[in-house]
Amino acid sequence: MDSLSVKTGKRQELRDVTSEIQQYISAKGFTSGVLTVYCPHTTAGITINEGADPSVARDILVSLERLIPLRGDYRHMEGNSDAHIKTSLVGPSVQVIVEEGRLMLGTWQKIFFAEFDGPRTRKVWLKWVSS
Ligand code: ZN
């Protein structure tokens, strides 16, 4: 297993990490298999969605904020319950098929690190299984 470091710059953001992950695959010389991209944090996750129009990432964050506001009927002492709940909705990981050394993503798809309680330096774990 390897890990990537991701520095986020805001409390909440969807950061496109596709090129970093593609660079990792190329540097390792991986050709055919599946890469698991896993976020080992309770207030950040990983998702795949449209990267061509940045408004999509913005709309996802704004909609999550409307559904799960910062302040609400929460009991968690840290005051970041919204971040925990958003993380559960987004999920901790994605699996991506790799063929001929390239991430097999749809035309408009990008891999996003979903930060919900930043800014922080975060980890992403990467596990390769070849086929
Ligand atoms: Zn917490």
- Determine the Cα–Cα distance for residues 108 and 7; give it in Å rounded to an integer: 24
Ligand 1 geometric centre to CA of 25 (Å): 33
Q: Which fold has domain 2-130?
A: Jelly Rolls (2.60.120)
Ligand 1 geometric centre to CA of 61 (Å): 19
- Determine the Cα–Cα distance for residues 67 and 125; give it in Å rounded to an integer: 29
Ligand 1 geometric centre to CA of 43 (Å): 7
- What letter does residue 107 receive in the DSSP assignment? T
Tens of pLDDT, residue by residue over 27-38, are: 999 999 999 999
Ligand 1 geometric centre to CA of 40 (Å): 14
Residue 88's pLDDT is 98
CA angle 41, 105, 86 (to 5 degrees): 30
Residue 109's pLDDT is 98
Residue 94's pLDDT is 98
Do residues 127 and 35 make contact, with C-beta atoms less than 8 angstroms apart? Answer: yes
Which residues of the chain, if any, have pLDDT below 70? none
- Determine the Cα–Cα distance for residues 95 and 75; give it in Å rounded to an integer: 33
Ligand 1 geometric centre to CA of 82 (Å): 9
Residue 53's pLDDT is 97
Q: Quote the tokens at residue 9.
A: 């710059």
Q: Which pTM does this prediction carry?
A: 0.96
- Determine the Cα–Cα distance for residues 32 and 88; give it in Å rounded to an integer: 30
Ligand 1 geometric centre to CA of 111 (Å): 25
Do residues 87 and 116 make contact, with C-beta atoms less than 8 angstroms apart? Answer: yes
Ligand 1 geometric centre to CA of 103 (Å): 33
Residue 108's pLDDT is 98
Q: Which amino acid is it at 82?
A: D
Residue 59's pLDDT is 98
